[in-house]
Structure 1
Amino acid sequence: MTDWIAPLGARRESDDRVAFDTPAPARQAMDATVLVPLAHLGVLDVRGEGAERFLQGQASAQVALADGDFAPLACFCTPKGRVLANAQLWRVAEGHYRLLMRRSLVPSLRAHLEKFAPFYRIELTPRDDLALIGLIGREAPAVAEARLDLTPPAVWHQAGDDSQQLLTHPGPRPRLLLCLPAGDLEATWQRLADQATPVGNAVWCLHDIQAGLGWLGADQADAYLPQMLNWEALGGISFKKGCYTGQEVVARAHFRGQVKKRLVRGQLEGDRLPAPGSAVEDADGKRLGEVLGAELDAYDQAEVLAVLGTREAAEPLTVDGQQFKRLQLPYPLERVDPEILATRA
């Protein structure tokens, strides 16, 4: 595996967490432009003559929409409709697609998809030789245009070529993700670092939380329907495509309104970060759901994404003894068709 983090001067705090000595990194992202090594993310390439047909039968996305411009969200499910991995999908070239997800899920998704791959003559390749870096801040698009010579695309779209791709993600500040060969990283990092401050990837994860984007890790696979992650409200499910694994269950839950859990944002009255899977309890001590992810914000308070039951609960809610205050999601809980998102450039 290529350790593309090492040359950047970052400090590894865990397998998927890196940091710098930059003070108040979350506040830096509010006031300036920051540069982030996205060590928690990974890439799986799907390549071959039958790649589009293969993905069409496995992913929730309408794969034909991934045309080198639109880069939709997708998820891969069990026959019972439970999400094995949620990802962003984009096309690198004809017959060559790329999936972005939590790095811990790349091996298990590859193993799952390899069962079907021989029928389509495709190859599934974890791309440990690629680096992923993020830019966050009001001036991030201008920095990218000046230093990368790429015009930043619309949210969930892509720019670039078959060597490097620039993608735009939603968030409280403009966010750009660059995928490039690890061998090109040091020179690119230095160009960007002239106008952006390096910070750890906790800041990127915080902005995912604030954007209402819940990315599953390996310990959370096979636990939720896509709608429990609000995936249809983010344009991550096409209800206009044909069959894919789990499609019948996912469609039934949507059209019959049978989703009993939802992803919610919250803030804790404290600065202790709960571990993923920590229980969210109501005032009677009953488990209402669990934490998907948590990060400290610019004011050193814990912000949280949690999957909670939709039934009315006795307030206040708590997590590990800290009060849980619900926050508004930045999008309505309404179906958004990716076919419409694809036209928004």
Structure 2
Amino acid sequence: MATANTQPPSAVRLTQYAALDIKGADAEKFLQGQASAQVGLANGTFAPLTCFCTPKGRMLANGQLLRLGSDHFRLVLDASLADGLLTHLKKFAAFYKAELSVIGSVTFAGASEPADTLANQLDITLPDQPYTHTTSSKGTALRMPGKPRWLLMFEKDASDLVNSDDALHNEWQLADIRSGLAWLTAKQQDHFLPQMLNWEALGGISFKKGCYTGQEVVARAHFRGQVKKRLVHASINAATLPEIGESLLDDNGKTLGEVVSSAFSGKQQVELLAVMNTKVMEDNLAVYWQQQPITLYEMPYPIERLDPEQIAAQLA
């Protein structure tokens, strides 16, 4: 397998994200029964990855969970899923002192080199550890995985501070791909077990917490080793980006995987994340997209369980 280089992006407006806020005296208790994260680990510094599942263990959404106040949590997720997840969760929130809302006024920006200047606008310092955040009344800076880059959330419109540039947006997407971080979208909702997006290898599942919706199926798949599909990082020679959900095939036209995200990494060069049958890696099978051969890369993390409790302890 090849090894990919990483190049952090400059400041760019990121419209693919949304903010779903959960507030109230029972906000933590409510989330604990729905999210794969150990909600108490979201302590105002550590922002654990998490997901929400159907009773059959299929992902409705994934994202990062931030605590912005004692009774105020924010889930950062793909914008295509926000309203649907809000409707889904409200069915359960009716039994708790918790209010949910999608905050449309938040401006999301991705930054690397210009991040200090933007952080000054928020009256905060930049966090230096991945999956940690700093917050003020003006907004939040969340450190992302890989080479230093930050997701900034301005509580009010900040269009004048960031760029709306396709090339910069592509660079941010490429950085996520090279970090092995896949964001579920509406096109693949209720389709994958969390482990198919390597979510337990990223610390996005707590196997030490109590029950949550879908927990039994997710735990059984883990402990019985029943996960036969995994997220992989790959590249192809192509002038266009594969669509989300497009099939990846073997020599005989049999589907071996499907695209989750993609970005350009050079002229006529595309990198992508795909959920692939594990036999591809085990048997070194040839895989194609539109008859173009695919090159597989090593993932930037081991495909093994990483407990979020372990991450939180290392940050303490």
TM-score (norm 2): 0.91
For residues 182-208 of structure 1, what are the alpha-carbon distances to aligned partners after superposition, in whole Å with 9 as ceiling and x for unaligned?
24x156x17xx8xxx995422211111
Aligned counterparts of 1:332 and 1:222: Cα–Cα separation in 2: 25
Query: In structure 2, what residue type is equivalent to 1:244?
Result: Y
Counterpart of 2:131 in structure 1 is 156
Does residue 80 of the first structure (1) align with residue 56 of the second (2)? yes
Q: Structure 2 CA distance, aligned partners of 1:129 and 1:46?
A: 16
Unaligned runs of 5+ in 2: none
Name the SS of the counterpart of 2:142 in structure 1. strand
1:79 deviates by 0.4
The correspondence of residues 1-345 of structure 1 with structure 2, limited to 5 A, is 30=7, 34-136=10-112, 139=113, 142-143=116-117, 149-153=123-127, 154-171=129-146, 173-183=147-157, 185-186=158-159, 189=161, 200-312=168-280, 315-345=285-315
Task: Give ranges in structure 1 of 5+ residues lacking alignment.
Answer: 1-26
CA contact (8 A) 1:317 1:323 kept: yes
Residues in 2 aligned to 1:146 and 1:33: alpha-carbon distance in whole angstroms: 19
Deviation at 1:271, TM superposition (A): 2.6
Query: How far apart are the structure 1 equivalents of 2:292 and 2:240?
Result: 8
Amino acid at match of 2:77: M
Deviations 1:287-344 (A, max 9, x none): 0110111110145411010001112467321012221110111101011110111133
Matched residues in 2 for 1:285 and 1:207: separation? Answer: 31
Task: Provide Cα deviations, 1:104-135, integer angstroms capped at 9, x if missing partner.
Answer: 00011011101101101211101101111110
Q: Which amino acid aligns with 1:129?
A: S
For the Cα contact (< 8 Å) 1:140–1:176, is it kept in 2? no
Q: Is the 8 A contact 2:16 2:78 kept in 1?
A: yes
- CA–CA distance in 2 between the matches of 1:311 and 1:268? 20
Q: Is the 8 A contact 2:52 2:62 kept in 1?
A: yes
The one-letter code of the counterpart of 2:261 is G
Task: Report the count of equivalent residues.
Answer: 307
The alpha carbon displacement at 1:55 in A equals 0.3
One-letter amino acid of the structure 2 residue matched with residue 174 of structure 1:
P
Task: Mark the CA change 1:300 to 1:207 in structure 2 (over 3 Å): closer, same or farther.
Answer: farther
CA RMSD of aligned residues (A): 2.1
Matched residue of 2:220: which SS?
helix
Does the 8 Å CA contact 1:46/1:96 hold for their aligned counterparts? yes
Q: Do 2:138 and 2:154's aligned partners in 1 also have CA atoms closer than 8 Å?
A: yes
Identity %: 47
Is residue 211–residue 330 contact of structure 1 (8 Å, CA) maintained in 2?
A: yes
TM-score w.r.t. the length of structure 1 is 0.84
Q: Which amino acid is the alignment partner of residue 330 of structure 1?
A: P
Contact kept? 2:122, 2:154, Cα under 8 Å: no
The AA in structure 2 aligned to 1:327 is Y
One-letter amino acid matched to 1:259: V
